[in-house]
Structure 1
Amino acid sequence: MNIKIYLTFNLFFLSIAMSAQNILTAEEAMQLTLENNYGIKVANNLVKVSENNANILNSQYLPTLTGNAGATLNIDNTEAEFSNGNVTILEGAESSSYNASVNLNYVLFDGFGRRYNYKSLKEQYKLTELEARETIENTILQLFTVYYSVAQLYENKQVLEQTLNISNDRLKRADYQFNYGQATKLDVLNAEVDINNDSINLINAQQELNNAKRDLNLVTGNALQEGFNVDTNINFVVSLNKADLLQKAVEQNITLQQVNKNILINQYELKTGKSEYLPTIGLTGSYGWNKNNNNAAAFLAVFTNTGISGGLNLTWNLFDGGQTITRIKNAKVNLEIQQLQKEELLLSVKRDFNNAWDDYQNKLTVLKIQEDNIVTSQNNFDRTLEKFKLGQINSIEFRQAQLNLINAELSKNQAKYQAKIAELELLRLSGELLNYQF
C-alpha cells in the first residue's frame, strides 16, 4: 500500500508540473535551430568567406600599386690625386643617398583567364550557398526527428501512466476482495508484481524522454528553457502529388544542384586553362625620386633626380613542354567524368524518391490500421474490465487485455511519428522541406 500511495502522489504532482510546462511548437523549434544551431552558423560563415572571395577585389581585374623607399649612408677614407699633383686625403668622409618610388602594374590582357576565373569564383559562391542550404535541410530533418521522438516518448509516458493507474485500481480491488474473502493472496501478489513492472516501465520512459529532450536542446543550440514540452498534434500534407514531387526532385534536389554547379565551375576552369595559349599584355608605370649627398671628393656635392616612367610588355609562353596541353586534356576528361556522375546521381535521386514515396504511403497505411486497432483493443479491454469486475475472468486474462491495449497504443504512437518523419524525408528529397509550413 505504501508503494501505491507513493506512486499516486508522484503521478499527481507530475501531472501538475507537466500542465505548467511551456509547449514548444514545431515552428518555434525550427526558428531556434536556424538561429542557434552551431552547424548552421558555421555553414553561414563559410558562405561569407566565399562571398568575399567572389568580390572584385579578388578578381585580378584591379591594378597593383607598390611603394618603395630606401636610404644609404657611407663613411669612406678617400685619397684623391688631382692632375696638378695636389693630393687630398679625406678620412671618415660621409656620403648618403635616398630614394623613393611608386610603381603601378596592370594586366591589360591575359587571354581571358581572369574573366573565367572571376566567373568561377561567382559560381563557387553559389555552390557554397547550396552547401549551406544542404546543411540547413539536414539539420532541420534531424531537428524534427528528435522533436517527434520527444513527442512520441511523451505520449508513451502518458499511456504508461494510465496503465499504472489501472493497475493501482486493480490492486485496490484485489486488497478489498482479499479482506472479504472473495480473492486469494495470489491475486494481490499478481497485482503488486504488475504495479512494479508498470512502475519500472514508467521510470524508464521518463528517462528516455529526458534524454530525448537533451538531444533536442543540443540541436537547437542549447536555446531551450527548462521544463518544456512539445506539441503532439500531427498534421500531414494531404495534397502531395507524386508526379509533381518527382519533377521537383529532379529540378530542386540539393545534391543535383551542387553537381550542376560543379560542372559549370569546371567548364570555366577549362576555359581558364585554354587562356594560357594566348599572350599576356601588361602596363607598367612608376614615379621615382632619388637624392645623393656625395663626399668632398666627388664632382657634385648633391645630386637629385625625379621622373616618371612607363612601359608596355608582352609575354607569350610559346611552348612550355606540353604541360598546358596535358592540363587541358585532363580537364576535359574530368568534365566528362562529372557528366557521367550526374547521370548516375539522377538515377539515384529517382530511386530514392520512389523508395521514400512508397515508404511514406506504407507508413500512412500502417497508421490507419493501428488507429483501427486502438478502437478494437479499447473495446476488448472495456469488456474485459467489466467481466473482471463481475469476477467472470481471472487477473491473468485481464492483464493480457491490458497489455494488448498498451501495445496497440504504443504501436499507434510509433506509426504516427514514423509517418511524419517519412513525409519530411520525402519533402527533403524533392527540395521542398524548407518551403513547408510547419
Structure 2
Amino acid sequence: MNALLVVTALLAATPITLEETRALGRKNTQALQAQLDVAVAQQDERVARSSLLPQVQFNVGPSLNYLGRRRQVVTIPISDTEVLTREVESSSNTADSYFASLGLSQVIFNRGLWKQLEQAGVNVDAVQNQSIEEADTSELEAIRRFFSLYLSQANLEVLKATATRSEEQLERARALFLAGRVGKTEEIAAEVNLGNDRINVVQRQNQLVADQVQLAVWLARPGTELLQAVDPGVFQTEPAPAPPLEDSLKQAREHRALLRALVQRVRVAELQRAIVQGDYIPRVGLSAQYAHTSQDLGPFFSEARLGNTFNGGITLTWDLFNGFVTDAQSARAQANIRKAELTFAQTARELEAEVRRAHQVLDGQIASSKLATTNRAAAAQGLLLAEERFRAGAGSTLEVRDAQLKLTQSELVLLQSRIDVEIARYALIRATGTLNPGDSQ
C-alpha cells in the first residue's frame, strides 16, 4: 500500500531537469534582489549625471504685502531755502502683485561633479559583477538541491529493490520450510527482514518530501508543489577527471566576477578621493534669470513691455580655506582606498584557496566513486553466492540478509559518491567563475 502511494505521488509530480533548475536558480529571490541593486545603482548614475546638465526653474504666483500703521517723518519743501518737517501717522495698507520668472543655471567646470559621475558608472559595474556572484551562488545551491532530490529518488528505488529481494527471500524460506529443508526460524527471520525493509522505504519517502520542498522553495515555486528530478544521466558515463589545478586557478583569476567587483570597489574609493580633492580647484558656473512682475493681472498680460528684469553672469567659486575639512576628507578617502586594496588582496588569496579545495574535493570524490563501483560489483556477487547456498540448503537467512545489506549499502554509497562527484564538479566550476561563461567579461 505504501509503495503504491509512493508511485502515485511520483506520477503526480512535476518533472524538472537540471538545466531548468539552473535557469530558475539564477532567478530566485536572492538573485532578483541583487538585480534590483543594479537598477538602483543605474538610477544613482542618472542622478549624478543630472548635476552636470542644465537646471531650469520656472516660478509663477501672486504675492501680498501688508503694511501696518506706522509713524514716519515727512519733509515738505516750503521754499528754495526752507523745509517743513512733520511727524505723521500713516494708516495700514495692502499691496498685491503677480510675478513669473524663468531661471537657467549650467555648470561650466566642476571637477568634483565629473568625478561623481565617473564613480557612479564604476559603481554600476561593481554592483553588476556582485549580482553575477549572487546569481552563481543561487544557481550552485539550486544544483545541489536538485541532486539531493535526485539522490533521494534513487535511494528510494534501491530500498524498494531491497524490499523486493526480501519478499523473494521470504517466499524461498517459506517454500523450503514447507519442504522440510529449513526450520520455521528461517521463515520468521525473512519476514522480519521484509518488514524492516518496508519501514526503510517509508522513512526514505519522508526525506524525499523534504528535498522536494527545499528545491521548490529555492526556485521560488510553491512549497506544496511536488517536483521530480529528471535523470541527469550521470550514471550512464564514467566521471571525467578533474582539470589541471593551474588551469582552474587561471580561469578563476580571469573570470571570477567577485574579483572584478573588488577591483572596481578600489576604483570607487580612488574616485571618492578625487571628488573630495576637487574642492581644491575653482568651480565655474553660469546662471541667467528673467522675471516679469505686475501689480494687477490685467497689465500682467497686456503690458508685457513693463515690469521685466533680466540678470545673468558667470560665477567662479574657490574655497580658499574651509577649516581643513578637505584635508581630513582626503585622508579618510585614502584610508578607504587602502581598506579596499587589502580586501581585494585577501579575497584573491581566499579565492585561490577555494579553488584548490574544490579541486581536491573533486579528485577525492572521483576516486571514491571508482572504489564504490568496485564494491558494488563485489557485493552483488556475494549476494548471488549466498542465495545459491541457501537454495542448496547449505546457507541461512542470516547469511542472505547480510549479503543483501552489503549490496544495499554499497548501492547507496555508490549513488551518494556519484552525486557528490557532480556537486563537487559544479562547485569547482563556480569557484572558477565559469558557471555561466556568458557573464564573464
Q: 2:368 aligns with which of 351, 366, 369?
A: 366
Cα–Cα, structure 1 residues 95 and 15, in superposed 2: closer, same or farther, change >3 Å?
closer
What is the identity, as a one-letter code, of the residue corresponding to 2:342? L
Asked if 1:61 is matched to 2:52, the reply is yes
Determine the C-alpha separation between the residues in 1 that align with 2:362 and 2:68: 97
Determine the C-alpha separation between the residues in 2 that align with 1:256 and 1:90: 78
Equivalent position SS for 1:433: coil
The C-alpha deviation readout for 1:369-427, integer Å capped at 9, x for no partner, is: 10111111111111111111212111111111111111100111110111111111111
Equivalent position SS for 1:54: helix
Check whether the contact 2:115–2:274 (CA below 8 A) recurs between aligned residues. Answer: yes
Determine the C-alpha separation between the residues in 2 that align with 1:144 and 1:323: 52
Structure 1 position 157, deviation (Å): 0.6
Structure 1 position 41, deviation (Å): 1.8
Determine the C-alpha separation between the residues in 2 that align with 1:179 and 1:434: 64
Determine the C-alpha separation between the residues in 2 that align with 1:39 and 1:11: 37
What is the identity, as a one-letter code, of the residue corresponding to 1:202? V
Cα–Cα, structure 1 residues 159 and 103, in superposed 2: closer, same or farther, change >3 Å?
same
Structure 1 position 308, deviation (Å): 1.5
In structure 2, stretches of 5+ residues that fail to align are 79-83, 297-304
Asked if 1:405 is matched to 2:396, the reply is no
Equivalent position SS for 1:135: helix
In structure 1, stretches of 5+ residues that fail to align are 1-5, 294-302
What is the identity, as a one-letter code, of the residue corresponding to 1:283? L
Determine the C-alpha separation between the residues in 1 that align with 2:207 and 2:20: 23
Higher mean C-alpha displacement, 393-402 vs 24-33: 24-33
Write out aligned runs for 1:65-144 (5 A).
65-73=56-64, 95-110=95-110, 112-144=111-143
Write out aligned runs for 1:21-60 (5 A).
23-35=15-27, 37-55=28-46, 58-60=49-51
Q: 1:268 aligns with which of 271, 278, 295?
A: 271
Cα–Cα, structure 1 residues 77 and 369, in superposed 2: closer, same or farther, change >3 Å?
closer
Structure 1 position 17, deviation (Å): 6.3
Task: Figure out how many residues of one structure are paired with residues of the other and give that number.
Answer: 416
Check whether the contact 1:178–1:184 (CA below 8 A) recurs between aligned residues. Answer: yes
Higher mean C-alpha displacement, 168-177 vs 132-141: 168-177
Normalising by structure 2, report the TM-score.
0.86
Equivalent position SS for 1:106: strand
Check whether the contact 2:390–2:396 (CA below 8 A) recurs between aligned residues. Answer: yes
Equivalent position SS for 1:55: helix
Write out aligned runs for 1:285-364 (5 A).
285-292=288-295, 304-364=306-366
Equivalent position SS for 1:432: coil
Identity rate, percent = 23
Structure 1 position 39, deviation (Å): 1.7
The C-alpha deviation readout for 1:61-119, integer Å capped at 9, x for no partner, is: 1122222234234677989999899xxx9989663211221222222222x11111111
Structure 1 position 286, deviation (Å): 0.6
Normalising by structure 1, report the TM-score.
0.86
Cα–Cα, structure 1 residues 292 and 232, in superposed 2: closer, same or farther, change >3 Å?
closer
Check whether the contact 1:59–1:114 (CA below 8 A) recurs between aligned residues. Answer: no
Q: Which residue of 1 aligns with 2:207?
A: 208
What is the identity, as a one-letter code, of the residue corresponding to 1:257? R
The C-alpha deviation readout for 1:254-300, integer Å capped at 9, x for no partner, is: 3222211101111111111111101122211111011125xxxxxxx
Q: Which residue of 2 aligns with 1:175?
A: 174
Check whether the contact 2:48–2:113 (CA below 8 A) recurs between aligned residues. Answer: no
Determine the C-alpha separation between the residues in 2 that align with 1:251 and 1:77: 78
Q: Which residue of 1 aligns with 2:218?
A: 219
Check whether the contact 1:174–1:187 (CA below 8 A) recurs between aligned residues. Answer: yes
Root-mean-square deviation (Å): 3.0
Cα–Cα, structure 1 residues 340 and 18, in superposed 2: closer, same or farther, change >3 Å?
closer
Equivalent position SS for 2:436: helix
